[in-house]
């Protein structure tokens, strides 16, 4: 068996030859006139390993194909008018996978940040990391922080990369930050009895969201969640933010998820009716 380092080198070389095609182009797809486009789409790119298994290939090849699909989808989403795209790249539970697979993925995320940063700078896309930074390799952490800093001034579009992200973990981190600020006297929580009207009931929600990973974003709440590989669950992605999201279960594995299939999901979303706990409202 080849070492993980050899696989990383081979994979990075293969992808580098395809960079121009992958990052500079997406299928020229247009949406029907009158389509209601979601402001924020979150994607759970499931099924890389299953795709590889079904094609008689090693799991690393499935991950490679998933990495190939991601930039195409990100560009297509922007071209179709989606402001914010969230990609769940690696969960807090994914550390349970083999050390070889985890090391391989971390190296590929380094490559992805390097390559996709160029396009994001050109298209004025803000890159935001969702999740923990304390457990990822230092080299990757440095690259992510650099990408965030270099694109921080952009607001045309946002690309959220959820890496070492877990929903429970996000909420616990937010609560911990609030507790620390209250103890230090840096946060003064108002007496809700002195706040008039409906806003009194809503205030804690608006206040709490400023401590979540999606803080300071114009569209922190995804309108549409797409999960590949016909899995019908969220697995803890953005539990606070997904309270009113619509869901689209894509039957194909993520390596086969194309801009055309993203278009189908958006059209399906556009034909739905959302209530938000009140009267029925067409999307």
Question: Which is more confident, 17 or 188?
Answer: 188
- Kindly report the number of other CB atoms within 10 A of residue 232's CB atom: 7
For position 237, what pLDDT does the model report? 97
- Which position has the higher pLDDT, 3 or 69? 69
Per the prediction, the chain carries an average pLDDT of: 86
Q: What is the per-residue pLDDT for 13? A: 39
Q: Let me know: does 79 contact 265? Beta carbons within 8 Å.
A: no
Query: What pLDDT, in 10s, does the model give residues 1-60?
Result: 333 433 433 444 344 434 434 444 445 678 999 999 999 999 999 988 999 999 999 998
- Kindly state the average pLDDT of the residues 256-268: 97
Give yes or no: 46 in active site. yes
Q: Of 36, 39, 53, 94, which is the active-site residue?
A: 94
- Is 280 annotated in a binding site? The answer is no
Is a pLDDT exceeding 90 seen at residue 182?
A: no
Confidence class for position 94, pLDDT limits 50, 70, 90: very high
Rounded-to-integer distance, Cα 147 and Cα 121, Å: 9
pLDDT band at 191 (very low <50, low <70, confident <90, very high): low
Q: For residues 228 and 281, which has the higher predicted lDDT (pLDDT)?
A: 228
Q: Which of 27-31, 34-38, 260-264, 269-273 has the lowest mean pLDDT?
A: 27-31
Q: For residue 50, say whether it is annotated as part of any ligand binding site.
A: yes
Q: What is the pLDDT of residue 273?
A: 82
Q: What is the pTM of this model?
A: 0.84
**136's torsion region: left (phi>0), alpha (psi -120 to 50) or beta?**
beta
Q: Is 139 annotated as a binding residue?
A: no
Catalytic residue among 46, 164, 213, 223: 46
Task: Give me the pLDDT at residue 6, please.
Answer: 39
Q: Is 253 annotated as a binding residue?
A: no
More confident residue, 29 or 268: 268
Q: Where are the domains of the chain?
A: 36-165+220-273
Q: Is the pLDDT of residue 194 over 80?
A: no
Q: Cα-atom radius of gyration of the chain, to the nearest Å?
A: 20
Cβ–Cβ under 8 Å, residues 81 and 122: no
Q: Which residue has the higher pLDDT, 1 or 272?
A: 272
Low-confidence winner among 108-117, 129-138, 157-166 (lowest mean pLDDT): 108-117
pLDDT in tens, 153-175: 999 999 999 999 999 999 999 99
Cα 199 to Cα 128, 164, 210, 231: the distances in Å are 29, 34, 16, 38
Q: What gap in Å lies between CA 111 and CA 119, rounded to an integer?
A: 13
pLDDT at 189: 64
Distance in Å from the first CA to the final CA of the chain:
52
Q: Name the CATH topology of 36-165+220-273.
A: Undecaprenyl pyrophosphate synthetase (3.40.1180)
Q: Residues with Cβ < 8 Å from 128, sequence gap 6 or more?
A: 148, 158, 159, 160, 161, 213, 214, 217
Is 272 annotated as ligand-binding? no
Tokens read off for 155? 């607001």
What does the alpha-carbon distance between residue 266 and residue 37 come to, in Å, rounded to a whole number? 7
From the CB of residue 195, how many other CB atoms can be counted at a distance below 10 Å? 13
Residue 93, marked binder: yes
What is the three-class DSSP state of 215?
coil
Has 230 been annotated as catalytic? no
Is 235 among the annotated ligand-binding positions? Answer: yes
State residue 18's pLDDT score: 41
234 annotated ligand-binding residue: yes
H helices within the chain, ranges in order? 4-17, 19-24, 48-54, 59-79, 99-123, 138-151, 167-183, 199-208, 259-270
User: Does 3 carry a binding-site annotation?
Assistant: no
């Amino acid at each position: 068996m080849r070492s993980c380092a050899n696989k990383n080198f081979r994979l990075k070389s293969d992808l580098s030859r395809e960079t121009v095609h992958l990052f500079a182009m997406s299928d020229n797809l247009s949406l029907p006139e009158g389509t209601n486009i979601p402001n924020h789409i979150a994607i759970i790119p499931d099924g890389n390993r299953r795709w590889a298994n079904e094609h008689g290939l090693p799991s690393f090849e499935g991950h490679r194909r998933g990495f190939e699909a991601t930039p195409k989808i990100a560009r297509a989403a922007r071209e179709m008018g989606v402001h914010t795209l969230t990609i769940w790249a690696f969960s807090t539970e994914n550390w349970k996978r083999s050390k070889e697979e985890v090391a391989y993925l971390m190296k590929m995320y380094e490559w992805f940040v390097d390559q996709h940063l160029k396009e994001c700078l050109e298209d004025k896309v803000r890159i935001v990391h969702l999740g923990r930074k304390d457990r990822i390799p230092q080299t990757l952490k440095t690259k992510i922080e650099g990408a965030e800093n270099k694109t921080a001034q952009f607001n045309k579009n946002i690309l959220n990369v959820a890496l070492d992200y877990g929903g429970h973990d996000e909420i616990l981190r937010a609560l911990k930050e609030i507790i620390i600020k209250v103890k230090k006297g840096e946060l003064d929580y108002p007496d809700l009895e002195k706040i008039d009207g409906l806003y009194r009931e809503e205030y804690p929600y608006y206040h709490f969201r400023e401590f979540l990973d999606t803080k300071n974003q114009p569209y922190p709440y995804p309108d549409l969640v797409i999960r590949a590989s016909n899995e019908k669950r969220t697995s803890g992605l953005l539990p606070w933010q997904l309270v009113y999201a619509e869901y689209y279960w894509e039957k194909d594995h993520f390596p086969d998820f194309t801009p055309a299939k993203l278009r189908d999901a958006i059209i399906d979303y556009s034909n739905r009716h959302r209530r938000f706990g009140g009267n029925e409202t067409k999307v």
